[in-house]
Structure 1
C-alpha cells in the first residue's frame, strides 16, 4: 500500500493551512510546501520500528513478564556488549541506542534543553492545551489510543506518563546512555512496539489503507514535530521569545530523541522549514476530528476534575476553566468547536495575564545576559519539576513497560 494525500482538498485541511494555525506556521517558516514532495515521505506511513517489535516478540511475548521486564531494565541501566547472551534483537536494539551518531551535537541539544527548561510552566500549558489537545483533531493519529483502551484507563495517568517523559528528556545533559531519561526512552519505544504488535494481533478492523501501520514512522515524526515546531509556535503565542539558536537546539534535541525511539533520523526535521513540510504533507493523510476525538478531548478536560492535586472541587473547576480558556486562545475556533470544548465566559483574561507576565519576566531576566538567562532556566526547571512531583504523587503507581 502507498499513502495518499487524501484530504489535501478537504475544507478542514484548507482552513487550517490557509486561515488557521497552519497558516501561521507557513508564515513563520516563510515557506510554501511543494505537494509533489509527498512521494518522498509516503512510504513512512507503512514503516515502523521493526527492531523494537522484534524485541517485544522475543521478550514480553515469550518470557514471563517479570523476566522480560528485568532483562530490559538491566540493559537500560548498564551497557550491553556484543558478547552478552541475550536474544539477538535485544542486543541489536541496545547496541544501536548506545552508539551516538556522528551528527549529534551535544552542545546544540543542550541549548534546546535549556530553552525547554526556561519556558517553565508556559511549556506545560502548551504541551497540554495546544499540542496534545490540538492533536486530537487528527482523527487517524489517535486510533492506536482508542484500540489500546486508553480512554478506559483515563487521562490522569496518561498525562503523568507524558509529563514524566517530557521533563526527563528535556533536561541538560539528560540523554546519556543508561541515564533516567534514556531508560524512559527505552520504555516508551518498547511500549509503542508492544501496543503495535497487540493491535495487529488482536484487531481485525484496523483500517490499514487510511490509518497506515499502527504507530507508524510518519505518525511518530508528526508527534515529535508537536514537541518541537508546534511547541515553539504555542510558546510564541504566549509571548515567549525564541532565539534562532534556541529554535535549532529544540529541533536537534528532538531529532536525537526520535533517533533513540527508532525513527529513521534522516527524515527527522532539523529546522522549521523541514518540520512545516512534514506536518503539511502528513496532515493531508488525516481526516478531521471524529467521535473518538471528542471523547479524548473530554477525557483530557475531565482530568482537571478527577486529579487530586487540588483538594477542593472549586479549585478543580477553576483549573478546568483556565485550561478551556487556553484551548480557545491557542487552538483554531473551528477545531475547538469540532472537539466540543466548552467556551468559558472570561476566556481571554487568563491568556492575557500569562502573555503580560512573560513580557515582564523577559525584561527582568534579560535573555542576552548569561547569568540572568541561567536564573530563568533554574526557575523554569524548578517549576516543571514541582508539577511533575505533584503528578507522580497523585497518580496510581501501575506503570508497566
Structure 2
C-alpha cells in the first residue's frame, strides 16, 4: 500500500504537473464535501453503519487517506485530456481509439501522454490475479444478461443522491431526458461489454471501453477546472475525483460482501472470488488504486463505509432531484413497439422499487418522496411478479452452468443475450461537450446546489 506521505505528495503534485487543469486549485484545503469529523452528517449507508463509521473514522490515518483521495484525479488520463487545446477533442479520441485497436506504437506521432496512458493500462499490477479474470467475466454473464437490464436505471439513480458528487453530471447536460438515456446506455454498455469473453484482454472491447471512460472523466475535469473557470473547489473539491468512481464500479461487489456479512460468512466461494477479482481488474483499468479495491468482504464493506461516511450529506432538488426525475422518466428502448413500451413500464417500476430497497434502506426522511421516486401502489406487486420471473430465470441459468453437459451451451446462450443487449444500448460515444461548462453554467449550478 502506498504510504500516506506519498499519497499526499501525489495529490499536491497535480498543481505543478498540470497547471492548465489544477493551477487554480488549493490542495491544502479541506472542501466542504469532506465529512471527516464524527459529528459531521454524512452519506453513511444506513443507521446500522454508524458504529462502523465511528470505528473507521477514529483512525486519523484513515481520515487523512480519505481526504487525499477526495482531491485526487486521474493523473495519467488527465495529462492526455489536457492536450485538448493543442490537438482538439476529436483527434484525442481518434488517437486513443487507434492506440487501443492497433497498439500505441502504431499511432503516428503519438504524444508522450498517450503513450503513458496506454502503457499504464497495459502494466497489470501483481495484486490483480489475472488467472481469475476470465472466470469472473463468465460468472458475471448470468446477472449481466438477466438482471442488469432491470436494475441499471435504479443503480444509476443512486449516483445522484448527493449534490457534492452529482454536480458534474448536472453540468454535462444529464438533466434532460435525452441525455439521461445516452449516459445510462453508455454506462450499461461499458459494464455489459466487459463481461464478454476476452473483453478485458489487451485488445479486447472492454479494455478499449475502459480507456474511453477514463478519457471522458478527465475531459469533464479539464473542462470544469481549466484556468479562469468558476468551479467552487472550497465547497465541492475537485470534480469527479477517483474515489467517486468506486461506488459505481464496485456496487455489485459491495452488495455481495454485505450479503455475506449478514450471513455470517467471512470469505468468498471460488466463484465469488473470481467475480470480485473481475470487478477489481475492471476498476483498476478505470484508474482506481489498490487501496480502494480490497479483496475481503470486511475490507470491501469498510471501504464503502469510509467513502459514504466522509461524503457530506447534501441534497438539493434542482440538481439531485432533477437528475433523478430525468433518469426515472427516460424511455430506454430503441423503438416504440408495444413490446418495448410494456418493457419500459415494467422495468421502470422494478427500478423504482430496487432503488428504494437497495439505496434508501430504512429512509425516514421522506427523501424518496422529495426526489419523486416514492413507491406507487402497483410498483411492489409488479416488482414481486417480475422478481419471481427474473430471479427464477437467473437461478435456472446458474443451475445449468453447474451441469457439465449444459455449461458451455448455456454460456453461449448468455453471450447471445448480451450481444442483443449491446445492440439495444447502441454505440457508446463516451464524450462530453465543452460548451456545457461555461462560467455562467457553473455559477448557476453552484447557486442551485448551495
> Given the two structures, how large is their TM-score scaled by the length of structure 1?
0.82
**Stretch of structure 1 that moved more, 45-54 or 132-141:** 132-141
Aligned to 1:349: 381
1:34-76 Cα distance to aligned partner (Å, 9 max, x none)? 2222233321111111111111222x32124443333222211
Q: Are residues 1:101 and 2:125 paired? A: yes
Q: Aligned equivalents of 1:222 and 1:101: distance in 2?
A: 22
| Distance across 1 between alignment mates of 2:141 and 2:268 | 15
User: What is the SS of the residue equivalent to 1:140?
Assistant: helix
- 2:325 aligns with 298
CA spacing shift, 1:308–1:244, aligned 2, 3 Å = same
Distance change in 2, residues 1:351/1:245 (3 Å): farther
The superposition leaves residues 111-130 of structure 1 with CA deviations (integer Å, 9 ceiling, x where unpaired) of 3212221113212323322x
Match of 1:90 among 103, 114, 121: 114
Report the alpha carbon displacement of residue 325 of structure 1 after superposing the two structures with TM. 3.7
Instruction: Give yes or no for contact 1:175–1:181 (8 Å, CA) kept in 2.
Output: yes
Question: Whole-Å Cα distance in 2 between the matches of residues 99 and 56 of structure 1?
Answer: 20
> 1:110 and 2:134 equivalent?
yes
* TM-score normalised by L of structure 2: 0.74
Q: Indicate whether 1:67 and 2:91 are aligned.
A: yes
Partner in structure 2 of residue 5 of structure 1: 35
1:214 maps to which of 231, 236, 239: 239
Give the distance between the partners of 2:253 and 2:413, measured in 1 at CA. Answer: 21
Q: 1:217 to 1:399 in 2, by over 3 A?
A: closer
Find the aligned partners of 2:345 and 2:46 in 1 and give their Cα distance. Answer: 34
1:34 alignment partner, one of 56, 78, 87: 56
Distance 2:43 2:210 in 1: 32
Is contact 2:42–2:312 with CA below 8 Å preserved after alignment?
Answer: no
- Aligned ranges for residues 189-200 of structure 1 at < 5 Å? 189-200=214-225
Structure 1 Cα separation of the partners of residues 397 and 96 of structure 2: 47
Question: What is residue 349 of structure 2 aligned with on the other side?
Answer: 321
- Name the residue aligned to 2:226: 201
1:18 equivalent in alignment to 2:18 = no
Check conservation: 2:249, 2:283, Cα contact below 8 A: yes
Deviations 1:340-363 (A, max 9, x none): 214221222233234434247636
CA RMSD for the aligned pairs? 3.5
2:371 aligned residue (339, 342, 347)? 339
Match of 1:362 in 2: 395
CA distance in 2, matches of 1:330, 1:170: 23
CA distance in 2, matches of 1:91, 1:360: 45
Q: Name the structure 1 match of 2:436.
A: none
1:185 matched to which residue of 2? 210
Q: 1:78 maps to what in 2? A: 102
Match of 2:442 in 1: none
2:272 to 214, 236, 247: 247
Please tell me whether residue 388 in structure 1 is matched to residue 422 in structure 2.
Answer: yes
Cα deviation per residue 1:145-199 (whole Å; 9 max; x = unaligned)? Answer: 0122222452111122111111111223311112221111111111111110001
1:282-293 correspondence runs (5 A)? 282-283=307-308, 284-291=310-317, 292-293=319-320
Q: Is the 8 A contact 2:136 2:277 kept in 1?
A: yes
**Structure 1 unaligned runs (5+)?**
none
Once structures 1 and 2 are overlaid, which stretch shifts more, 166-175 or 349-358? 349-358
Deviations 1:240-281 (A, max 9, x none): xx9623332233222222222222234322233222212211
8 Å CA contact 2:81–2:219 kept in 1: the answer is yes
**Number of aligned positions between the proteins:** 383
Matches of 2:252 and 2:167 in 1, distance apart?
20
